[in-house]
Amino acid sequence: MIRMAVIGLAVALAAFAALLAVALLTDFATVPCQDGVWDATRLRCIPT
């Protein structure tokens, strides 16, 4: 029972870390793109 709880906690922490990393990367990607919209598929800034 304790082993399942530890595994569940580890999975939850890993998922949280992955979400945090994605959020930080997307924020970082939009910083140079002040005068347009960041296109994640093309990895470039599209002027508006």
pTM, whole model, 2 decimals?
0.50
Digit-coded pLDDT (tens) for 1-48: 899 999 999 999 999 888 888 777 766 655 667 778 888 788 788 887
Task: Domain of residue 37: give its range.
Answer: 2-47
Contact 7, 16 (CB under 8 A): no
Residue 32: per-residue pLDDT: 66
* Number of domains the chain is built from: 1
Residue 28: per-residue pLDDT: 64
Give the span between the Cα atoms of 20 and 29, in whole angstroms.
14
